[in-house]
Amino acid sequence: MTVNKILKNSSLYTFCALLQKGTGFLLLPIYTTYLKPEDYGIMNLITSITGFLSILFLVSLHAAAARFHFKYVTSKGQAIVWGTILLMVLFNSAFWGLICIIFHDALLVPLAEGIPFYPLLLLAILGTMLSPLYLFYQQWLQCTQDGLRYTLNLMCNFLLQVFLNLLMLMVFHQGVLGIIISSFIVSMIFFIYSMISFLPHITLCINKEISVAAFKYSLPLIPHSVSGYLSVMLDRILLNKLIGIQQVGLYGVANQFGNILNLFTSSINQAFTPWLYQKLEKENESSNYKSIYKFAEISNVLCCFVALVITFFSPEFIRLMTTDEFYSSWQPIVFITFGYVLNGLYFFFSKSLFFSYTKYVMIISLSTVLLNFVFNMILIPNYGYLGAGVAFLLSQFVSSVISLLLSMKLVPYLRYYWKKMYFFCFIFFLLCISIFFFQLVDDLWYRLILKIAFMLSVLGCVSYIYRHSLRLFKNQILNKNKYI
């Protein structure tokens, strides 16, 4: 697989992820018009809980399916891999879903203080139980490099979700309940669609050898997956308990902007992972991984610049897209966006551990969630949602550093240009912090002119520094070179 293929798939994944996961951002004007900060906070807290349940249902087996897909060269072998692991996930989803419904008073109500189980949490759980089949179908399309169908699926998912959300909010005036109902309907429709489109390509069976290997691979990743989402969910739960649900709503708006950067890093990671796994599977320790290092370095700089753009123009966009009640939510965005930049570094540094050393991923995960909890407990009581943003940034920094150190020790032949990557993160973070000084300028148009001029200056400097690498990337896209 060439870098050209990686770049094209990365662009496709970024585009379709923006459509699917960017629904909340694109509908922000509607949400903040028809929902109060308290209602928006309820929606965000429920979304966080269902995201955690989705990880519990999948138990990281989707990662095992992607990993073992490349170990079987025949279509028959790959069909058995996907069929075996899918059945394991479906059984697991049904089991844990029923447990959560039956024992909701003990398991869910303490996490969602003040939110009724019937019908909000119940519908959210049922929708989450239906989602693994569609998620597996999308993962299979990524592994088979069918980026076009992957994109079309996400576009349809996005359009249906948007239509139903608008219908529930603007026509039926159902508020938070309408959002939950529309999500359940979308999950049900795509569950049926995935059965029709995906199941003919796989063999539904339980292969003992594959199931044992999948569990051995995925079990060490479960703490990683759970703790990763706990880090995201903890701040909302603690904000609700320590400050109030309104703060969750304001922090949720800030996260919509920060999540744009998360989409970039996640999409790059989705395209990068199959490429790295193929090289590690086929090549030895003496192989030249320069193309991987350069791709990671330039991707990091790109993410830093995107974080700068998001941070600098978020106050104006929030004022344009929301009501006055939400305007102050721009303040934690700088910390959230750079938390996701550092999460992007973690993606690069930890991928070699996912290949052969998954048990060490647990060390990173547990350390991250523990520190995130400590930072939140210290900062939220004093600084509210701003403290939650800083806690997220600090925990992601620690996560990236630990993953780098373990990668350097366990996979010494794979060395990224980590000094350059951290240097640019530090410089761009300092540039982003200057947003607090720019906001002191009262005149809107004068402030915008200053920001645009500043942004163009930074873009010019970065383009000059990486002029040779950018030219090579351009040639790669045009198929003039096969490798960087």
What does the pLDDT look like over 404-443, one tens digit per residue? 998 888 877 778 889 999 999 999 999 999 999 999 998 9
Query: To the nearest whole number, what is the mean pLDDT of the chain?
Result: 86
371: its two tokens: 């520190």
Q: Given this model, what pLDDT does residue 134 score?
A: 96
Q: Given this model, what pLDDT does residue 341 score?
A: 94
Cite the DSSP H helix spans in 357-434.
Answer: 358-410, 418-433
Q: Who wins on pLDDT, 231 or 58?
A: 58
Q: What are the pLDDT digits (tens) for 258-290?
A: 888 888 887 777 767 666 666 665 655 545 677
Confidence of residue 390 (pLDDT cuts 50, 70, 90): very high
Q: Who wins on pLDDT, 221 or 106?
A: 106
Please determine, for residue 480, whether its predicted confidence score (pLDDT) is greater than 60. Answer: no
Q: State mean pLDDT over 94-104.
A: 96
Q: Given this model, what pLDDT does residue 228 score?
A: 66
Largest distance between two CA atoms of the chain:
68
Nearest by Cα to 423 from 262, 300, 291: 300
Cα 404 to Cα 348: distance, rounded to the nearest angstrom: 9
Phi-psi category of residue 384: left, alpha or beta, with phi > 0 → left and psi -120 to 50 → alpha: left
Q: Given this model, what pLDDT does residue 18 score?
A: 65
Phi first, then psi: give them for residue 416, nearest 5 degrees. -75, 165
Asked if the peptide bond before residue 119 counts as cis, ω within 30 degrees of 0, the response is yes
Query: Per mean pLDDT, which range of 279-283, 340-344, 349-353 is the poorest?
Result: 279-283
172: its two tokens: 């039926």
Confidence of residue 193 (pLDDT cuts 50, 70, 90): very high
Q: State mean pLDDT over 219-232.
A: 73
State the amino acid at position 164 in one-letter form. L
Chain CA centroid to CA 383, Å: 25
Domain range summary for the chain, segments of one domain joined by +: 1-38+219-484, 61-218
Sign of the CA dihedral running 416, 420, 423, 424:
negative
472: its two tokens: 């090579």
Q: What are the pLDDT digits (tens) for 127-186?
A: 999 999 999 999 999 888 787 898 889 889 888 988 999 999 999 999 999 999 999 999
Cα 365 to Cα 113: distance, rounded to the nearest angstrom: 26
Q: Given this model, what pLDDT does residue 66 score?
A: 86
Cα 392 to Cα 375: distance, rounded to the nearest angstrom: 8
Q: Are 354 and 63 in contact (CB under 8 A)?
A: yes
Q: Given this model, what pLDDT does residue 482 score?
A: 42
Q: Given this model, what pLDDT does residue 473 score?
A: 56
Query: Per mean pLDDT, which range of 101-115, 305-319, 382-396 is the poorest?
Result: 101-115
Hunting for tokens 């991923």 — which residue is that? 361
Q: In 117-252, where do the E strands start and end?
A: none
- What single-letter DSSP state applies at residue 119? I
Confidence of residue 479 (pLDDT cuts 50, 70, 90): very low
Please determine, for residue 450, whether its predicted confidence score (pLDDT) is greater than 90. Answer: yes
Q: What pTM does this model have?
A: 0.76
81: its two tokens: 């891999």
Q: State mean pLDDT over 295-323.
A: 91
Cα 461 to Cα 427: distance, rounded to the nearest angstrom: 12
Q: Are 76 and 52 in contact (CB under 8 A)?
A: no
Q: Given this model, what pLDDT does residue 31 score?
A: 87
